[in-house]
Structure formats: structure tokens, C-alpha cells
Structure 1
Amino acid sequence: MADIPSQRRALSRDLPPAATPGIPPATRIGVIGLGVMGGGMASRLLDQGHRIVVHNRTPERAAPFAARGAVVAATPAELAAQVDVVLLSLASEAAVEEQLFGAGGVLETLPAHGIVMDTSTVSPDFARSVAERVAGRGRSAVDACIIGNGQHAKDGELRFMVGGSADTFERLGTVLEPLAKEIRHLGPSGLGATAKVMLNVLMGVEMQVLAESVTLAQRAGIDRELALSMISESGFSSPVMKYKAGVMRRRAYGEPQFRLDLMRKDLRLATAEAGRLGVATPVCDATHETLVAAAEAGLGALDCAAVLSHAEVAAGLPGTPDRT
């Protein structure tokens, strides 16, 4: 349910007025990566009357946005030359590296006042490296953790947790406001990426324990549908668990909101960061191992809720999803 305007203002912390110095009031925004989240944010920006330029490595994904008035750029450099803020929503650090620093990349043409806002899930070290290298070329960058799903992105109901300088954060107000119901500046570069990794650990572990509970119930003789219903309606559930229980109930794994292989990647990032900081994460480690096994079994391109199918098959239950 959408927040009323007064609630939205209360949740958004210290956002600047539209005419913040350094970024024009009619901020030109570029979106690179038009998947579930990037496409949702691009759609929302168009709905709110923003002028946007889009680029996607698979060009056909840009066609619906062009039909709605977005300018389609053939390369990241072509996009960056036309905008004040570049919003990235990509699947990997390698993709971010290529789009920003590769031949024909964003940093070749982004104006001196331009800002890179990376919403991709990357390691904190990588986020800090990006910020340092972008700053070395006279531009600014933030790592912006986004919490929510594709529908939240389309509805402007995302939560943003941002790492970067306070000045750069404040200059992004006109971009963040139409996309978010909550906006927080966490501190220096890397902390937005840390927040994303931390929160995705919770989601990954929730999916794993839900899968284990439902599989145990089935092997004991409790109906699968009833087990999912009991858990999702209980006080032990969460909004995410309830939503994913619905995906599991329908076995709708082939319509991924968050792919299992991306969840595996995020928990790998979490275990690496925990190791760097000397923090023991045995539950996260075990969940990561299960996700690796599930991906190796061919479930990586499916929704992360397909971890239930992996558990069911391992327990001798019929759980293999439709991979189409």
C-alpha cells in the first residue's frame, strides 16, 4: 500500500529541494540495465515526467521504453553524454566495470557535474573502488542499496540505503524522491553495498529455512499446500516469506523476481565480507553451500524460491520445477 505524501516525506531523510546547486532542476537521468529492477525504475521515472535515456546490452529490452518517450543510446558513452545522473542496475561487478570503465563506457563522456548511482549488488570493496576511480576522473559516485521488488520499483515504493559523500547524496534528491518511500544516507562509499549484502543474507536464509520446514512437513505426512499456508499465516512469517510462500505454492519459479543464481552470488559476497571482517556466519555459509548445489542442479535461472524444489528432490519428493 502506498504511503500518503506526509508519510513519504517523513521517511525520506534530509532530501534537498529540486533546485540543488550542481544538478539542474530538470535532471536528465540515464538508466543502464533494464531488467526487473532497472526496468521498473525507468518506468517509474517516465511515469513521473522525467526525461530519461536508456541503454541495455540486449537492445530489444529498450523498445518498450522508447515507445514511451525514452531516448535509446547505443552505448554507455552515448548515454552518459546526454545526462546528469547515470543509474546502473546490473547483474555483476564485471558488468558494472565494463559499462563504466570499458571502451565506450560512461566515464568517457559523463559531464563534470555528473553522478554515477550504482544500484547493482556488488561487494563493498568494489563499491569503494568504483567511487575512488570515478572521483579520480573528476566525477562522483554512490552505491545505492535498493530494497524491494520489480513492482515496488514501478510504484516508487523502493527503500534506498546509500553510501557516498553527503554532498553527492544531497544532490541526488530529485532522482531518488520519485523512486522511493524511504531514503537513508548510511555514510561513506561501500556502506550501501554492505547494507544490500546484509539484507540479502536475511532473505537467503529465510528461503532456506522455509524450504527445509515445508520439506520436513511433507515427509511427515502434512499436505504441502497446508504447510505453506500455516507458515505464511503464522507469526513466524515475514512479508517476504509470505510472498515467496505464494511463489512456492504455485511453483511459479520460471517467472523470477530474484534469480537463484543472484542470491547465490549475494551470499558469496556476504561470506567474503564476513571473512574480511572476522565475523562468523555459519548459517549464511550453510545457506550459500545449498544455493551453490541448487545452481549446479540447474535451478540458477529460476526464482530463488526454487530452493524448495531442490530440498524436495533431495528428500525424494516430487519437486522438480518447470525450467521453461
Structure 2
Amino acid sequence: MAHEIAFIGLGAMGGGMVSRLLAAGEKVTVYNRTRSRGEALAAEGAVLADTPAEAARDAEVVFLSLATSEVVEALLFGPSGAVEGLPPGAIVADMSTVAPDFATSLQAKLASTGHRGLDACVLGNAAHAKDGELRFMIGGTAEDVAVLTAVVGPLAKEIVHLGPGGMGATAKLALNLLMGVQMQALTEAIVFGERAGLDRGTLIKLIAAGGYSSPMMKFKAGVMARRAFEKADFRLKLMRKDLDLVLAQTRRLGVPMPTTAASHDWLTAATNAGLGEHDVAALLAYFEQISGLSHYPPPGEAAA
């Protein structure tokens, strides 16, 4: 039996998940602030709403896949926000990468309006979303997780209930920091090797095939080899934002994070240099500029 689903936020991940849900026969109403992003999904069978409240009107579950906590707050509780139209008892599953403290406060606020909240974070990229290969890390009550599990089956390779609210968000940050520091290490290895006289293409192949590599590192090494920075699978400024969230949380916990802090500083520098909207692999382009590898064109010129 099809579920009534609302999906708010149709970036690469959100759009892929909606396509997968539609293919599985689910009823999905979508909203995105840039309406054109929903038009292709409407052609696949989604209902395109004009406001978050309209999208949520009959929903059993509302999914949020948004860039920041500020946007989550606005689209849930702002004018014509989803909560205005959401039926009592419905679940809001926030898939956005946010601070754990924000996740728990959001769930408390939803409880005060008669709704249920989960931090339902995912691991994977847009291709995994379309193929139903995402890994879900969820914080919230066991009862609510059971309800969500019945809905996200078409999307999920694995579903892990990590405990109370905030634990899904915590796990996502812990895992995303690994991506940030690996991107830093990958960039430094390539620039060092090339400046020392190695052929870049050969070095990237060695890295991708080596035991030190990870699936993510191998994937991003390919992005770097192609210089495919413009079509961002994960925007550089969002990687910087995630490490900012990690550092804020670890300062409160008294946990030193020297490697993460260094990666955050370099991502900040690359963002300030104008690379924030590019894929995080464009960190390489920033290091080229400051390391004397001036024969490589900046990302925009490379695409042209």
C-alpha cells in the first residue's frame, strides 16, 4: 500500500530519493524553493506543491533534505511552513546535516505542535539515492523509527537506529569529518607528487588502486582526474559547514580535533577563494594555485 509522503528539498540527493520512491509506487508531493527542480519529478509522477504547507497537507511522513538548520527551521515553521499543513501525529524525518543540539531541539518543538521528529541522516551520493543503496542513521524513538523503516525501504541498503534524538546527526558528522580530512590528504598527496616530478595521471591511478584508498577517495580521485568540479556531488562550502559543526560540538565536549581543525581552515580558505559552490574535490584547484602549478586552468575556465 502506498504511503503519503512529502519531500522538501530537491537537490541531487533529494531528487534521487524522490525518483526512487516514485518508481516504488509511493505517492510523493514535493516542494523546492527553486520550483524548476521539481518539474522533472512531476513528469515522473510527483505532485508539485507551491508551499511546504501544501506539500505536507496529507503526509504521513515529511522528509527534509536541506543545506542548513536555518533553512530547515524556515521551511518547517516559517510562513506557509510544513507544520501548518501537517496532520497531527505525522513524522518529520530531517535528513539534513545539522548539529545534534539542533536535532534534539527541533524534535522537542515538533512534539509541542503534535508531531514526531527523527534525525534520519544518510550516507551515500546521488547515484546511491537513485539505486536504493543509502545507509540510514537514525536518532529518535524506536516506535517512530519502525514507522519510518516501513517507508524508506525502497531507499535503504541499511537502517541503523542509534538511540535518542541527535544520535543520527552525531553519526553523520563523525563520518563526514572523515571525508573532509581525506579530501585534504588526497589533495596534498597529488600536489606534492606532481611538484616532485611525478605524472599526475599515474599518481592518481596509484592512489585509487592502493590499499590506502577508500571508496570515497577513489571516487573523488576520479573527479580530480577529470577536473569535473562544476557539477558538485558535494559542495565544498557544505563540507566546510559540516566541519564547522563538528568543531563546535567537540569544543563543548572538550575533545581536541587538530586534524579536523586544519582541514576546516583550508576549506575556509578555498571557499573564500570562490570555490564554495564547486565540488569539494575543487580543493585541489586551490592548492594548485598556492603551490605553483599554474598551468591548470581555474575550474570555470576548465569547463568552458
Normalised to the residue count of structure 1, the TM-score between the two structures is 0.91
* 2:219 alignment partner in structure 1: 243
- Give the superposition deviation at 1:173: 1.8
Residues 1:321 and 2:264 aligned together: no
Residue of structure 1 aligned with 2:162, choices 186, 197, 204: 186
Q: Distance in 2 between matches of 1:116 and 1:184?
A: 17
Supply the RMSD in Å over aligned alpha carbons: 0.9
- Give the superposition deviation at 1:65: 1.0
Question: Contact (CA 8 Å) 1:53, 1:82: kept in 2 or not?
Answer: no
Residues 1:30 and 2:10 aligned together: no
Give the fraction of aligned pairs with identical amino acids, expressed as a percent: 53
Residue of structure 2 aligned with 1:74, choices 38, 41, 50: 50
Runs of 4+ in structure 1 displaced over 6 angstroms?
none
Q: Distance in 2 between matches of 1:84 and 1:102?
A: 20
**Which AA in structure 1 matches 2:137?**
M
* Mapping for residues 301-316 of structure 1, pairs under 5 Å: 301-316=277-292
Q: Distance in 2 between matches of 1:174 and 1:46?
A: 15
Residues 1:85 and 2:93 aligned together: no
* 1:195 alignment partner in structure 2: 171
**Which AA in structure 1 matches 2:139?**
G
* 1:273 alignment partner in structure 2: 249
**Which AA in structure 1 matches 2:199?**
D
- Give the superposition deviation at 1:320: 4.3
Residue of structure 1 aligned with 2:112, choices 132, 136, 139: 136
Q: Residues 41-64 of structure 1: CA distance to partner in whole angstroms, max 9, x if unpaired?
A: 000001101010000000111101
**Which AA in structure 2 matches 1:138?**
G
Residue of structure 1 aligned with 2:142, choices 166, 169, 173: 166
Residues 1:44 and 2:20 aligned together: yes
Q: Distance in 2 between matches of 1:267 and 1:227?
A: 28
Q: Distance in 2 between matches of 1:321 and 1:85?
A: 43
Unmatched 5+ stretches in structure 1: 1-24
Normalised to the residue count of structure 2, the TM-score between the two structures is 0.97
* 1:255 alignment partner in structure 2: 231
Q: Distance in 2 between matches of 1:208 and 1:320?
A: 20
Q: Residues 214-262 of structure 1: CA distance to partner in whole angstroms, max 9, x if unpaired?
A: 1000110001111111111100000000000000000000111000000
- Give the superposition deviation at 1:321: 3.1
Residue of structure 2 aligned with 1:229, choices 205, 209, 220: 205
Q: In structure 1, the residue corresponding to 2:138 is in which secondary structure? A: strand
Question: Contact (CA 8 Å) 2:285, 2:299: kept in 1 or not?
Answer: no
Q: Distance in 1 between matches of 2:167 and 2:208?
A: 32
* 1:22 alignment partner in structure 2: none
* 2:187 alignment partner in structure 1: 211
Q: Would you say how many aligned residue pairs link Structure 1 and Structure 2?
A: 300
Unmatched 5+ stretches in structure 2: none
Residues 1:286 and 2:259 aligned together: no
Q: Residues 45-86 of structure 1: CA distance to partner in whole angstroms, max 9, x if unpaired?
A: 011010100000001111011111111111011111121100
Q: Distance in 1 between matches of 2:210 and 2:127?
A: 25
Question: Contact (CA 8 Å) 2:132, 2:155: kept in 1 or not?
Answer: yes
* Mapping for residues 59-138 of structure 1, pairs under 5 Å: 59-138=35-114
